[in-house]
Amino acid sequence: MALAPTVQLLAALSAVAALLVLAVAGAVLARGPLGRPVVYGGALAVTLLAAVSALTAIPAPIGGLVLPLGIPWIGANLRLDALSAVFLVVVNLGGAAASLYGLGYGRHDHAPERVLPFFPAFLAGMNLVPLAADAYTFLLAWEFMSLASWALVISHDKEAGNVQAGLVYILMASFGTLALMLAFGLLAAGGGGFTFEAMRAAPPTGWAGAVVLVLALLGAGSKAGLVPLHVWLPLAHPAAPSHVSALMSGVMTKVAVYGFIRIVFDLAGPPDWWWGIPVIVAGAIAGVVGVLQALLQSDTKRVLAFSTIENIGLIFVGLGLALAFKASGFGGAAALAFTAALFHVFNHAAMKSLLFFGAGAVLTATGSRVMDRLGGLIHRMPVTSVVMLIGAAAISALPPLNGFASEWLVFQAILLSPELPAWGLKLSVPAAGALLALAAALAAACFVRLYGIVFLGRPRSEQAANAHEVDAFSRAAMIALAAICVAAGLFPGLVIDALQPAVTALIGVKMPAQSEVAWLSIVPVAESRSSYNGLLVFLFIASSALLTAFIIHRLATGAVRRAPPWDCGFPNADPVTQYSAGSFAQPIRRVFARTLFAARERVEMPPPGSLAPARIEITARDPAWAFLFLPLAGLVERIATRANRLQYLTIRQYLALVFGALVLLLLVLALWT
């Protein structure tokens, strides 16, 4: 059945083409004065239009198109359905915000020719992945996205560690693509061919479906940052310029989530009962491990990168629950869990981009990402400090902001899961719920620490004391995203309703329409069961706070006197006596990280009378590195050293090797049949 191209599909394809043109323009104009305004301004216009067009495409009929590109007998199959449209909205909203931010932030880039060509190319790749409807186009777009972002990761190649980060990233990206390639191979082996339509018509049976699930979890999970395939993420995301970090953390991980949903929910056929378990377990582990490691970091952008791993974990728990419910035939519950995951995809894209922009603004203003060199910025950067506070509260899942609304939906889905008949799920789901609750509480601790050290207190360095607010473009981008966070938190019903066409397409059932509920509440199942009204909670808090302030100022007193800090009578003028990033995390490090990450503190106290400074050294290791990747790297190294001898053979020995290989291959061929 051939689908007709819709207006929105053509618009989305034009957006990809326009972004590719901008990439070329970026390469040509990079060194000139026009480069930055043309590339970022153009990308802003294109992504904004593409976002609007994709928004109208969510409830619209499916559009399809085959272009005579790529492999001749397949062509480039393109398709725009509700799920693709939802993710295109996320990609292009994030892209528009990053472009707007880049207009100002790019001014400080000392090597624009290393960023300007790749930025629109990266956006084009992320726009093409959701449109692809055959394995070849999908993998091509996926790899294009990976390579463009890799080029951006190593754009500041003079800074220590960035090239190394790029190497780890490209290795993990190749591994992920390999896993996806194998998954598509298995899907195509069902009989049809490499188009998604053929795969959908002949889904894999028996063990092949299970292997596809595992490969999708590895392939998409490595891109999204699931533990233990997350190791590249905290290296690569902070290495890129901040607006690109925002795109990688906020948007590219969501494209990876899209890949997982497309393969597992759409192409792999009806799920088995146990499919949800590995997804839920992987998500719950990523949630806790991600946020705990975020608490141990002292670099602002690394904190944010690790926090991305936590949020991806929450999304995967939602997806795993949806799989489990779908397999057991609980359509309504599956729709709830799937909606929660998609809602969090949207929310995290907005708040993580906002937080990375804020970290970029701090970097611009002070030249530092090290938390222990910052402090007191709330006085110097009034706008950035307010929007960062909104972002930090949103990602800590505090009502009435958007992060809480999606987390609340996930909890509601968990509360429906005792209905699931399988024992494996009965035991793993409550444990995952406890881990998610732990991750949410730790996230709040993590962002109290980040915000408290960077924006509050007294400045810990000269640069922090003399910081200035950033330019108007950057401020506008941050304010826009903060407004989205607040709006999605106050009116969650609107977002939930907008997502329903995608939910219906993949689950077959949708959630009850929220726009019909009185007072803009959200009621996921039934009114007697649970309901939440973000707007009303906000109004209650705001009105009682204002009322209290008014009454106190009117009836009691509003007098204020400024004085030196009290600090129990021993105020110390030196800012280094404040709590630092390391000391703030000390209690949590001792409680949680001692066994999990082998976190150790070594204190060196000089003897009395000595003038040497006292030192504290904190070490922690990531178990994924210690137990998986370093041994693997060692193994590769050993094999390579052994194989090195093959380079120094005589010509006779080489000929003997060729002969041996030939015989072996012929033997295999003979025995195969």
Binding of another protein by 579 (CB under 8 A): yes
Check residue 339 for interaction with another protein (CB under 8 A): no
| Binding-site member from 541, 598, 616, 630 for another protein (CB under 8 A) | 541
Q: How far is the CB of 306 from another protein (least distance, A)?
A: 16
Q: Which of 350, 361, 440, 485 binds another protein (CB under 8 A)?
A: 440
Provide the minimum distance between the beta carbon of 138 and another protein in the complex, in angstroms, as a whole number. Answer: 38
DSSP β-ladder status, 600-604 and 615-619: antiparallel
Q: Candidates 256-264, 336-344, 408-416, 647-655 — which segment interacts with another protein by CB under 8 A?
A: 408-416
Residues 590-629 that bind another protein (CB under 8 A): 590-591
Asked if residue 501 has a cis previous peptide bond (ω within 30° of 0), the answer is no
CB of 287 to another protein, least distance (A): 11
Contact between 532 and another protein by CB under 8 A: the answer reads yes
Q: Does 566 interact with another protein (rule: CB under 8 A)?
A: yes
Per CB under 8 A, the segment of 113-121, 137-145, 439-447, 494-502 that binds another protein is: 439-447
* Paired tokens of 143: 């790899």
Number of residues that bind another protein (CB under 8 A): 87
Residue list 74-113, contact with another protein (CB under 8 A): none
CA angle (131 as vertex; 130, 136 as ends), nearest 5? 95
92 or 368: CB nearest another protein: 368
Residue 521 makes contact with another protein by CB under 8 A: yes
CB of 558 to another protein, least distance (A): 8
Q: Which stretch binds another protein (CB under 8 A): 140-148, 435-443, 600-608, 619-627?
A: 435-443
Residue 393 within binding range of another protein, rule CB under 8 A: yes
**Residue given tokens 């024992």 in the structure block:** 423
> Can you spell out the DSSP letters for 154-197?
GGGTTSTTHHHHHHHHHHHHHHHHHHHHHHHHHHHHTSS-SBHH
Can you tell me which of 542, 598, 661, 663 binds another protein, judged by CB under 8 A? 542
- Interface residue with another protein among 65, 445, 502, 599 (CB under 8 A) is 445
Instruction: Choose between 182 and 535: whose C-beta lies nearer to another protein.
Output: 535
Write down the least CB distance from residue 404 to another protein, Å: 6
| 414 class by beta-carbon count within 10 Å (0-12 exposed, 13-18 middle, 19+ buried) | buried
Amino acid in the structure at residue 176? G
- Quick check: 167 and 179 in contact, CB under 8 A? no
Q: CB under 8 Å to 624, separation ≥6 — which residues? A: 227, 228, 229, 230, 231
User: Is residue 466 part of the contact set for another protein (CB under 8 A)?
Assistant: no
Do the beta carbons of residue 341 and residue 418 sit within 8 Å? no
**Amino acid, res. 360:** G
**577 is a contact residue toward another protein (CB under 8 A):** yes
Residue 398 as a binder of another protein (CB under 8 A): the answer is yes
Q: Which two tokens stand for residue 624?
A: 């994924």
Using only C-alpha atoms, the chain has a radius of gyration, in whole angstroms, of 26
Q: What separation in angstroms does the CA of 31 have from each of 109, 155, 239, 343?
A: 11, 15, 22, 40
Report the nearest approach of another protein to the CB of residue 466 (Å): 15
* Alpha-carbon gap, residue 625 to 449, rounded angstroms: 26
Examine residue 668 and tell whether it contacts another protein (CB under 8 A): no
Which of 27, 456, 465, 628 is the binder for another protein (CB under 8 A)?
456
Residues in 412-431 at the binding interface with another protein, rule: CB under 8 A? 412, 414-415, 417-418, 426-427, 429-431
> Which single residue is written with the structure tokens 């922009």?
357
User: How many CB atoms neighbour CB 673 within 10 A?
Assistant: 4
